[in-house]
């Protein structure tokens, strides 16, 4: 198994030379404005922590897993010690509000640190990662008292957070939940019910866990309109805000999972546990989506992170593994065979991984920056435009980066051949770990419906058409230097808009048409956006090459852009054709396919 290195040069290219984070940050109100030097210092230290502390625990955590003993969950060896270093390094408080002990730095800067950690050790990073959703929900919907008590503990990292949404009979349909919340005379609630698939639901890393639980009041209306959100701490805080007596919530079992073995995925039983309402009664869905949208960007980055780690191993292996001779003659004449890196199809798989990862990194960073602008932008109009953009991009980041991320890690296994199927090489872990990212925090189908329904058709396509116009403007700008790219961008701009109009008309006639087209529409959108960013990266690399013509990194950017535009972007056309074919072959006309003989 090869080592892991954070791709700092690629991060710097995006942060400083493509998006210019430092200048963007200067426009923000009510936020710390880090200099270029501070940005790089933070990222360099985060890289050291990820490479030296977290990555060495990745394989051992997978092999050892978590264990449940007398109601206590014990994480793999080294996880708790790594978490203490995380706290000591101040990483938990990076983007938090200073009022509650945070450092007040931009969320987009924190996302880069999250990417490093999740790439180094996906399972470990889920323990602090779940806290970000809880922090977002409490910041947006909690009372002043709740913020004062819980945010300071979560931002210090001494307490962690969870999202307790899923129940055995309901799955993604949270409107069917049965967990009950009965009011008490002191203003608290007695929470009773069972939640499953709760990541980091019980562990020994932190002194307390803050569960955010969806439940129903006795008089709640049915469906999602009757869902409320509650804080249910593992230990009830005492008068000084320190962990007090154990609450009536316990882990009934650990799920026996395909991957992410180092993270405790729990079945939690709430047996009259004391809880406190967040926000207004029956308004829990709004708070839930605050948590979910924070988590969805992070899950997309998990898909990309698994792909990055697997790609690094596959590339190192392809350079070293000797097998067969090049079709154009020996490239390693002094050896018994050539490195498999010289074979065209191995290069195809490696370039697919590289083009996906680096294009997705640009998309994720842009989305995170839009999230910052939406909250801290200089004017109301700027904030509103950015919010519409990040809302539109969130399901694409979550859905496309995880779907294509799984393809990418499978390419890495294929580069290894039979050795990729063997656990000792380590690359197969990324397939198992990555697979969950397509499911939790909303499956790809849910992301597709969100993108097409809420974010496009209900918006009458305004935000999408803004992105389509960006593609057209870039095509105009690069016409003289990249005429082929300009033609492709113009075609994407027209097709994206036309698909929106086509689906709007079809969905009015039959809403199932939207469901039949949603995932293809999401995937088309993902490929279109990666084309947009790859053309920008190629142009910027060309400008910088005029100053340093021998820069291999920049030359590699242009070569990878050419591969993406010629060999990967055509997959968007397959998704377009599937959409235009309509939903008939999935709907009533397909009923016979599921009939028994």
Please state, as a whole number, how many other Cβ atoms lie within 10 Å of the Cβ of residue 257: 17
Q: Please, are residues 265 and 203 in contact by the beta-carbon 8 Å criterion?
A: no
Backbone angles phi, psi at 163, to 5 degrees: -120, 115
Q: How far apart are CA 244 and CA 48, in angstroms?
A: 36
Distance, CA of 496 to CA of 61 (rounded, Å): 43
397, 446 Cβ separation under 8 angstroms: no
Q: Are 366 and 16 in contact (CB under 8 A)?
A: no
- Tell me the two tokens of residue 574: 């397959």
Q: Which of 441, 469, 505, 573 is labelled catalytic?
A: 441
* Structure-token pair, residue 359: 């294009």
Beta bridge partners of 191: 181, 273
Q: Which of 563, 562, 544 is nearest to 553 (CA)?
A: 544
- Residue among 127, 258, 146, 246 at smallest CA distance from 198: 127
Distance, CA of 450 to chain centre? 16
User: Which tokens in the block code for residue 427?
Assistant: 């690359």
User: Distance between CA atoms of 481 and 479, rounded to whole angstroms?
Assistant: 6
| DSSP code at position 427 | T
The C-alpha atoms of residue 316 and residue 313 are separated, in whole angstroms, by 5
441 flagged as catalytic: yes
Distance CA 248, CA 232 (A): 9
Between β-strands 208-215 and 159-164, what pairing exists: parallel, antiparallel or unpaired?
A: parallel
Using an 8 Å Cβ cutoff, are 144 and 100 in contact? no
Catalytic residues: 441
């Amino acid at each position: 198994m090869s080592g892991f290195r954070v791709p700092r040069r690629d991060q710097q290219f995006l942060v400083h030379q493509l998006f210019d984070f430092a200048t963007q940050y200067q426009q923000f109100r009510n936020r710390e404005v880090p200099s270029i030097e501070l940005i790089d210092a933070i990222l360099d230290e985060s890289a050291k922590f990820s490479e030296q502390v977290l990555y060495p625990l990745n394989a051992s955590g997978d092999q050892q897993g978590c264990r449940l003993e007398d109601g206590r969950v014990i994480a793999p060896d080294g996880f708790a010690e790594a978490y203490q270093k995380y706290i000591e390094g101040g990483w938990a408080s990076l983007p938090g509000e200073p009022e509650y002990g945070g450092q007040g730095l931009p969320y987009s800067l924190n996302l880069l640190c999250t990417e490093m950690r999740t790439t180094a050790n996906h399972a470990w990073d889920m323990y602090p990662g779940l806290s970000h959703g809880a922090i977002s929900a409490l910041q947006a919907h909690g009372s002043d008292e709740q913020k004062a008590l819980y945010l300071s503990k979560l931002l210090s990292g001494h307490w962690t957070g969870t999202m307790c949404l899923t129940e055995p009979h309901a799955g993604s349909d949270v409107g069917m939940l049965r967990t009950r919340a009965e009011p008490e005379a002191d203003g608290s609630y007695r929470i009773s019910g069972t939640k499953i698939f709760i990541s980091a639901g019980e562990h020994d890393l932190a002194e307390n866990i803050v569960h955010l639980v969806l439940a129903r009041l006795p008089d709640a209306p049915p469906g999602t309109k009757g869902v409320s959100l509650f804080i249910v701490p593992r230990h009830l805080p005492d008068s000084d805000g320190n962990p007090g007596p154990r609450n009536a919530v316990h882990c009934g079992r650990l799920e026996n999972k395909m991957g992410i073995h180092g993270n405790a995925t729990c079945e939690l039983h709430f047996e009259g546990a004391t809880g406190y309402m967040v926000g207004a009664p029956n308004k829990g869905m709004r708070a839930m989506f605050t948590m979910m949208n924070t988590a969805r960007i992070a899950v997309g980055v998990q898909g990309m992170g698994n792909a990055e780690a697997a790609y690094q191993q596959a590339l190192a292996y392809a350079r070293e593994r000797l097998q067969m001779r090049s079709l154009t003659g020996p490239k390693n004449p002094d050896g018994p065979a050539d490195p498999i890196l010289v074979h065209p199809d191995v290069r195809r798989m490696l370039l697919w991984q590289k083009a996906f990862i680096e294009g997705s990194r640009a998309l994720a960073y842009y989305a995170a920056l839009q999230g910052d602008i939406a909250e801290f932008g200089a004017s109301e109009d700027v904030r509103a435009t950015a919010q519409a953009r990040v809302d539109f991009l969130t399901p694409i980041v979550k859905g496309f980066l995880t779907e294509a991320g799984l393809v990418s890690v499978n390419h890495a296994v294929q580069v290894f051949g039979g050795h990729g199927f063997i656990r000792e090489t380590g690359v197969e872990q990324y397939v198992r770990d990555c697979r969950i990212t397509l499911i939790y925090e909303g499956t790809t189908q849910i992301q597709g419906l969100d993108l097409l329904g809420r974010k496009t058709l209900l918006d009458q396509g305004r935000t999408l058409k803004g992105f389509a116009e960006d593609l057209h403007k870039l095509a105009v700008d690069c016409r003289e230097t990249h005429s082929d790219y300009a033609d492709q961008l113009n075609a994407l701009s027209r097709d994206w808009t036309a698909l929106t109009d086509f689906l709007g008309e079809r969905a009015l006639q039959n809403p199932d048409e939207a469901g039949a087209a949603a995932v293809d529409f999401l995937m088309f959108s993902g490929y279109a956006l990666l084309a947009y960013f790859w053309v920008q990266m190629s142009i910027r690399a060309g400008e910088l090459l005029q100053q340093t013509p021998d820069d291999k990194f920049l030359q590699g950017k242009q070569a990878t852009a050419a591969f993406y535009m010629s060999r990967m972007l055509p997959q968007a056309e397959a998704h377009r054709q599937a959409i235009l074919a309509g939903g008939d072959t999935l709907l009533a006309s397909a009923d016979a396919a599921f009939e028994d003989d």
